[in-house]
A and B are shown apart, each in its own frame.
Chain A
Amino acid sequence: MGLHAYLMLAAVLFVIGFFGVVTRRNTVGILLGIELMLNAVNINLVAFARFNADIVGMIFTSFTIPITVAEVALGLAIVILIFRMKRTVIADHLDILKG
């Protein structure tokens, strides 16, 4: 399997994640989509590291994974707070920035 296969996998994963982000109505679903997109990026990094024989991509990925975990924790905390205040987690109802 060459580099292209990995890149294709990453691209498909990214598009699926993006699709989830823009179509999901539930805020938690949107967060899941974001996670998919991030992991697509991680696959890209690892794949390039592997095929270019450069360790830097691996190291970078080992940093992004914990950061992603932290980000998810933060995002979920925000969602819970929003739910406490507005009694809803549906993204269409959270439009206080409407002009």
Chain B
Amino acid sequence: MTDPARLALLALLLPASSFIILAVVTPLRRHGRAAAGLSVLFAAGSLVAAIGALRLSTDGGFTEWLWAWIPAEAGPLVTIGVLADGDSALMLVLVALVSFLVQVYSLGYLSDETGPSLGRYYTYQSLFAFSMMGLVLAPNFAQLFICWELVGLCSYLLIGYWYTRPEAARAAVKAFWITKAADVGLLIGIVLLWRQTGTFDFLDLLQMADTGVIPLAGLGVITFCIYLGASGKSAQFPFHVWLPDAMEGPTPVSALIHAATMVTAGVYLLTRTVWLFRLTPDVMQIIAWNGAFTALLAAVLACVQTDIKRVLAYSTVSQLGYMMAAIGAGFASAGFLHLLTHGIFKALLFLGAGAVIHAVGTNDIFQMGGLARRMPQTAIVFIVGTLSLAGVPLFAGFFSKEEILGAVLAGGFPGPFGMLLFGAFLTAFYMFRVVFITFFGTPAAAHHAHDHHVHDASPFMAAPLWILALLSVGIGTLFAFWHPRAEFEELGWLTPTAVVVALAGIAFAYLVYQRRAISADTLAAVFGPIRAAALRRFWIDDIFAFIYRGLMLQLARLVGWVDRYLVDGILNLLSAWTLMAGDRLRRMQSGRGQDYVYGIALGVLLLLVWIRWPR
């Protein structure tokens, strides 16, 4: 096996077979533990295959393994298969790695679940791993769209894993519908692109873009539609509202789907098709500005959250905004690099938060406090993740975030650059706010009652945390000595600025929440209106609710009225008339034979007159 595509295919088919086995063999699934073991085993195999594919793949070299799906006269219309190259193999490894670690972690996190319920969880996990890998390896838009919808389905199923809780069920439906609304854009974009170029295939399209055969007229609409789909999946403004609510799912699910892999699918799609977007600079501008705006908006929102998972959710939205901004600025590789590092450290943060939640039994950071002494291991890994996210040197997020800042500036976007720089300050601030409140400070009274619960996580949960923490530090250190050459001229002052901004955010959080040199209440008073607005989530959810209740439901009511009274009314009137006429005519029927004879005689007479009538 020297072909990366074959190994990638193996990595793709392992979770698929695990899903099929678990879905078909009911006793195995209902046993729970056995299902988990099988799923984890297959995930490990998939990870090994993915790493193998990455080692064999070369930068810029594409290897394909295709089957014809929809035949047509001039070659197959749609193919399915795998397309392995440097980018997709890297992404494949990230998906396989996080998927494997999260499945191991879930063994500890969900140990209280019943057998059937745990089996259901691992069935969905396998399906998700398969769909996500299928998305990553998709050689054309058609397969990509199918897998795109499949991961959306898995997201829905896993957010609603505790479906008896009404909030979880609501959040699942919300996530499903909002991403679905955006997916309509993607579907329209794909179909329009096919009409314009006659192919779904990435490599064909790439060749057409390189040789400049793609007609530019109307291409802006197409790329914008594709961007719409990507912005729904990657929680860009105004579609970001579903992601914080999606935190109702189990924490490992949040780590895997709503931080590391599925939400980055939009960014990945844009990275994959960036040559198409380069042809439409207007859309690139929109992507850059909207990305920077989303990054800043979500960072502000994260500052006022008290739910640890919601802080992380908004920070995910914010970081996705960074990636989008870099792609919009024309440097997709910077965004893709941040996608990879972010996948590692955000999964780490979520799993760390999960360990805390598992121990304390609440999501509210103000009910935690002083956990560093009770859970030292968790505290260390969580702080590693936080430093990565804040962009401190020697940690994974530092280099990629700085590269994004440089890319946005080099792309000629000073406005978004300012927004992102301020966003970086806020990122450091809100993350260390969580760290200081949760792990340091005075323990809150609430969890004294079950103090004996609060201890470091079990080995199943701790091992993935340590692996991810080591990877975060390792990648950061690696980049400090050797880092991929940037595509743009790097500015000398950028690195110190980025570091200073990050450290300033940390220092500010330290002063407010640790030393309490600046009172948090004073801070709240100073930023009163913004804080109030942020607590209402800038009314974006309300706007969506208004659009739904105020406009769509009213429209539905109007349409319902028209249907019920106008359309049905006309039909009812017609049928009533028919009935009435029938009732009148009924009386003609006397039932006496002789009357009918008269009728016949009259008819014959009329016929004779008609025949004999002079014409």
CB-based nearest A residue for B586:
A99
B593 to chain A, nearest CB (A): 6
Q: Which residues of B contact A18 (CB under 8 A)?
A: 601
Check if A53 is an interface residue, CB within 8 A of chain B: no
> Is the Cβ of A98 less than 8 Å from the Cβ of B591?
yes
Report the bound CA distance from A92 to B587 in whole Å: 16
Check if A85 is an interface residue, CB within 8 A of chain B: no
Q: Return the CB mask of B584-599 against A: 1 if under 8 Å, else 0.
A: 0011111111100110
Report the bound CA distance from A46 to B578 in whole Å: 51
> Is the Cβ of A92 less than 8 Å from the Cβ of B601?
no
> Is the Cβ of A99 less than 8 Å from the Cβ of B592?
no
CB-based nearest B residue for A25:
B594
Task: Select A99's contact among B587, B594, B598, beta carbons within 8 Å.
Answer: B587
Q: How many residues of B contact A (CB 8 A)?
A: 12
> Is the Cβ of B589 less than 8 Å from the Cβ of A22?
no
Report the bound CA distance from A30 to B592 in whole Å: 13
Q: Return the CB mask of B564-605 against A: 1 if under 8 Å, else 0.
A: 000000000000000000000011111111100110010000
Q: Which residues of A contact B592 (CB under 8 A)?
A: 91-92, 94-95, 98
Q: Return the CB mask of A76-98 against B: 1 if under 8 Å, else 0.
A: 00000000000000011011111
Q: Which residues of B contact A91 (CB under 8 A)?
A: 592-594
> Is the Cβ of A99 less than 8 Å from the Cβ of B591?
yes
CB-based nearest A residue for B585:
A99
> Is the Cβ of B597 less than 8 Å from the Cβ of A97?
no
Q: Which residues of A contact B598 (CB under 8 A)?
A: 22
B185 to chain A, nearest CB (A): 62
> Is the Cβ of A22 less than 8 Å from the Cβ of B590?
no
Q: Which residues of A contact B601 (CB under 8 A)?
A: 18, 22
Given contacts A18-B601, A22-B598, contact A98 B589 (CB under 8 A): yes
B474 to chain A, nearest CB (A): 94
Centre residue among A18, A30, A95 by max chain B CB count within 10 A? A95
Given contacts A18-B601, A22-B598, contact A99 B593 (CB under 8 A): no
Report the bound CA distance from A22 to B591 in whole Å: 14
Q: Return the CB mask of A2-37 against B: 1 if under 8 Å, else 0.
A: 000000000000000010011000000010000000
A92 to chain B, nearest CB (A): 6
Give the interface residue-count category, chain A: 10 to 19
> Is the Cβ of B597 less than 8 Å from the Cβ of A22?
yes
CB-based nearest B residue for A34:
B597
Report the bound CA distance from A99 to B587 in whole Å: 6
Q: Which residues of B contact A95 (CB under 8 A)?
A: 590-592
Report the bound CA distance from A94 to B601 in whole Å: 21
> Is the Cβ of B590 less than 8 Å from the Cβ of A94?
no
> Is the Cβ of B594 less than 8 Å from the Cβ of A21?
yes
Report the bound CA distance from A85 to B589 in whole Å: 23
Report the bound CA distance from A21 to B586 in whole Å: 24
Report the bound CA distance from A45 to B195 in whole Å: 79
> Is the Cβ of B593 less than 8 Å from the Cβ of A94?
yes
> Is the Cβ of A99 less than 8 Å from the Cβ of B597?
no
B331 to chain A, nearest CB (A): 86
B243 to chain A, nearest CB (A): 70
> Is the Cβ of A98 less than 8 Å from the Cβ of B594?
no
Given contacts A18-B601, A22-B598, contact A98 B590 (CB under 8 A): yes
Q: Which residues of A contact B593 (CB under 8 A)?
A: 30, 91, 94
Report the bound CA distance from A21 to B589 in whole Å: 19
Report the bound CA distance from A21 to B593 in whole Å: 10
Report the bound CA distance from A18 to B597 in whole Å: 9
A83 to chain B, nearest CB (A): 16
Q: Which residues of B contact A30 (CB under 8 A)?
A: 593-594
Report the bound CA distance from A91 to B590 in whole Å: 12
**A 46-70 contacts with B by CB, 8 A:** none
CB-based nearest B residue for A33:
B597
Q: Return the CB mask of B51-76 against A: 1 if under 8 Å, else 0.
A: 00000000000000000000000000
> Is the Cβ of A96 less than 8 Å from the Cβ of B591?
yes
Centre residue among A18, A92, A94, A99 by max chain B CB count within 10 A? A99
Task: Select B588's contact among A21, A22, A96, A99, beta carbons within 8 Å.
Answer: A99
> Is the Cβ of A97 less than 8 Å from the Cβ of B594?
no
Report the bound CA distance from A55 to B74 in whole Å: 77
Report the bound CA distance from A92 to B591 in whole Å: 9
Q: Which residues of A contact B590 (CB under 8 A)?
A: 95, 98-99
Report the bound CA distance from A34 to B590 in whole Å: 21
CB-based nearest B residue for A95:
B591
B41 to chain A, nearest CB (A): 79
> Is the Cβ of A21 less than 8 Å from the Cβ of B591?
no
Report the bound CA distance from A99 to B590 in whole Å: 6
Given contacts A92-B592, A94-B592, A95-B592, contact A21 B587 (CB under 8 A): no
Report the bound CA distance from A40 to B587 in whole Å: 35
Report the bound CA distance from A91 to B596 in whole Å: 12
- Listed A/B pairs (11) with beta-carbon separation below 8 Å: A22-B597, A22-B601, A95-B591, A96-B591, A97-B589, A97-B591, A98-B591, A98-B592, A99-B589, A99-B590, A99-B591
16 more contacts with CB within 8 A, not counting A22-B601, A91-B593, are: A18-B601, A22-B594, A22-B597, A30-B593, A91-B594, A92-B592, A94-B591, A94-B592, A95-B591, A96-B591, A98-B591, A99-B586, A99-B587, A99-B588, A99-B590, A99-B591
Residue numbers of A with Cβ under 8 A of B are 18, 21-22, 30, 91-92, 94-99
Nearest first, the 7 closest Cβ-Cβ pairs linking A and B are A99-B589, A98-B591, A95-B591, A99-B586, A97-B591, A95-B592, A22-B594
